[in-house]
Amino acid sequence: MQNVLPQQAGLTVGSVIYRYTAVKNIEDDMLVHVQNEDALGNGYIFRETDDWSGLEGNNIYKIVPVGAIPLERWGNGSVEVEGTGTVLDPSIIYTYQYDPCFDPQTDPSCPGYVIPYDPNLIPVVEFNDPLQDELVLAEMEKKAKLEEEEEYERKMRIKKVKVDLEKMLGGLNRGAMDGQAAAQEAALFAMNYIPVSYTGSLNGGVYKDMPMIPDSQIPNNKNAKRLNYAQQQKHEEMMQYQYDK
Amino acid sequence: MKKLLFLIPALAVTTAAQANYPINGFIESKCVIQSDTAGMFGNPTVDELSTKSADGGVMPIIRYDIITASKYKAVITTPTNFSASPSLSDSVDWTSTTVAGQMSDAAMSIFNTDKVIYNNGHTTEFDLVKAGSVWFNVTSEAKYGVGKAFPSGSYTALIVAECIAK
């Protein structure tokens, strides 16, 4: 019956409808069995017998309610003739229905549905705002303080570098420096921090302009234009930062 | 006091109310007739109308649902005239058959064995001794005059199917 009934869990057959034509002589005995074997046991799960003995053959159309027999029990079906006669054009129809809640676990809306886990085993976790936790707040405050200190140190370093640079540049004017400053200058020069061009002298003379544009035509530089716009846009973007804070 | 005692029952008698209370009942038939297939005349020859499929017609089928056995008989009368037709100037010869052509129980085959035909073969009576459903096939043929052609137009004939309590 696997090729007759849909293999669906929860399917039950409610009735069997069959028809055939019995061809026989009136005086002959003839029994026609319309039957299905019991797939889970011996014998038949359905067996209907028509006794045509002593009767004229005819067409039969019969509806046999069988209750609600589960799909699993329907075995092979057959039409068996016992006696003398022939069965022509047999047709057997099984009416069935499907219970979508046969397995209640298939749908939570089915009666008898059981939650597949024990909700009591799941610990109830209260929600705590981490931003209100004392330890977190203390850590955040500590971090903010560190950042503040680092920012202060960074500013101080920049300031010191600035001062050192001024001092180095100030060394160019030797006449204005006192002895201590001169010593510091000498120390700095010894460290090669000051480029040679600061102290070296250029050879005298006149450097004439070289004609770089023979045709006196300066074409528009599109790349420069694009770069100009990009710089302008970046500038405006940076300017906007102060308002975004 | 005695008088008074006598008077009270007398008054009671003269003032007694009276009303009629009907008892209603309804009997639902245990034999139901359904038209399973509507018939149609075919016209194999100019002078003949027939419900046989070989003649191009459709055989009418009437279903009887017998709820209680042996309490009813089916009486089916085939047509002997047209209920609607063009004007006919000659006689029509009617022949018909009625048989139980399908049944829900093999035992109903006895309906055909024990059927009674009368009214010149136009009425068939079946004793419904078995419960279930039975389908009666009716054939009807009408031949017009002697070699005359039926006038063109629509023809209608009626089958009368009855379920009569025995």
ipTM: 0.74
Q: Do A60 and B101 touch (CB under 8 A)?
A: no
| Total count of domains within chain A | 2
CA distance B28 to chain A (A): 23
Instruction: Please give the angle made by the CA atoms of A230, A236 and A240, to the nearest 5 degrees.
Output: 140
Residue reference for tokens 């009626």 = B158
B166 CB contacts (<8 Å, ≥6 apart)? B70, B71, B72, B73, B127
- Identify the domain boundary among A155, A172, A195: A195
pLDDT tier at B1, thresholds 50, 70, 90: very low
**A4 lies in some domain:** no
**A70 lies in some domain:** yes
Q: What is the mean pLDDT of the segment spanning A158-181?
A: 71
Say whether both A18 and A64 belong to one domain: yes
CA distance B105 to chain A (A): 7
- Identify the domain boundary among A53, A72, A106: A106
Say whether both A97 and A164 belong to one domain: no
What gap in Å lies between CA B49 and CA B57, rounded to an integer?
8
What gap in Å lies between CA B159 and CA B58, rounded to an integer?
14
Interface list for B 101-160 with A (CB within 8 A)? 101-110, 112-113, 133, 135
Nearest by CB to B106, from A19, A55, A63: name it: A55
Domains in chain B (CATH in brackets) are 29-165 (2.60.40)
Mean pLDDT of chain B: 88
Nearest by CB to A55, from B104, B110, B135: name it: B110
What's the alpha-carbon Rg for chain B, to the nearest Å? 27
Among A61, A82, A88, A89, the strongest candidate for a mutation testing the B interface, having the largest count of B CBs within 10 A, is A61
State the greatest distance between any 2 C-alpha atoms of chain A, in Å, as a whole number. Answer: 152
CA distance B101 to chain A (A): 6
Set of chain B residues whose Cβ sits within 8 Å of the Cβ of A19: 102
Say whether both A74 and A141 belong to one domain: no
Q: What is the pLDDT of residues A134-168, one digit of tens each?
A: 888 888 899 999 999 999 999 988 888 887 777 77
B93 pLDDT higher than 90: yes
Q: What is the mean pLDDT of the segment spanning A118-146?
A: 84
**A239 lies in some domain:** no
**A241 lies in some domain:** no
Helix H or strand E encompassing A94: strand A86-98
Least confident of A33-37, A74-78, A130-134, B103-107: A130-134
Q: What is the mean pLDDT of the segment spanning A84-96?
A: 94
Q: Do B109 and A57 touch (CB under 8 A)?
A: yes
Q: What is the mean pLDDT of the segment spanning B127-149?
A: 93
Instruction: Please give the angle made by the CA atoms of B61, B63 and B68, to the nearest 5 degrees.
Output: 160
What gap in Å lies between CA B131 and CA B107, rounded to an integer?
10
- Identify the domain boundary among A106, A122, A143: A106
Q: What is the pLDDT of residues B69-87, one digit of tens each?
A: 999 999 999 999 999 999 9
**A158 lies in some domain:** yes
Set of chain B residues whose Cβ sits within 8 Å of the Cβ of A22: 106
pLDDT tier at B3, thresholds 50, 70, 90: very low
Q: Which residues of A156-193 are buried (b: 16+ CB within 10 A; e: fewer)?
A: eeeeeeeeeeeebeebeeeeebeeeeeebbeeeeeeee
What's the alpha-carbon Rg for chain A, to the nearest Å? 52
Phi, psi of A74, deg, nearest 5: -85, 110
Is residue B138 within 8 Å of B60, Cβ to Cβ?
yes
How many CB atoms neighbour CB B128 within 10 A? Answer: 23
What gap in Å lies between CA B67 and CA B88, rounded to an integer?
43
Residue A58 near chain B (CB below 8 Å):
yes
Residue of chain A with shortest Cα separation from B136: A59
Residue A32 near chain B (CB below 8 Å):
yes
Q: Which of A196-210, A218-232, B73-87 has the highest mean pLDDT?
A: B73-87
Say whether both A101 and A136 belong to one domain: no
The larger pLDDT score, comparing residue B101 to residue A115, is at B101
B104 CB contacts (<8 Å, ≥6 apart)? A60, A61, A62, A63, B132, B133, B134
pLDDT tier at B58, thresholds 50, 70, 90: very high
pLDDT tier at A204, thresholds 50, 70, 90: confident
**A232 lies in some domain:** no
B41 pLDDT higher than 80: yes
Set of chain A residues whose Cβ sits within 8 Å of the Cβ of B106: 22, 32, 50-52, 55, 58, 60
Say whether both A141 and A72 belong to one domain: no
Is residue A10 within 8 Å of A68, Cβ to Cβ?
no
**A220 lies in some domain:** no
Q: Do B106 and A59 touch (CB under 8 A)?
A: no
pLDDT at position B4 is 37
Least confident of A43-57, B7-21, B77-91: B7-21
Is residue B98 within 8 Å of B136, Cβ to Cβ?
yes
Domain of A86, in residue numbers: 11-106
A35 pLDDT higher than 90: yes
Say whether both A141 and A79 belong to one domain: no
The larger pLDDT score, comparing residue A158 to residue B129, is at B129
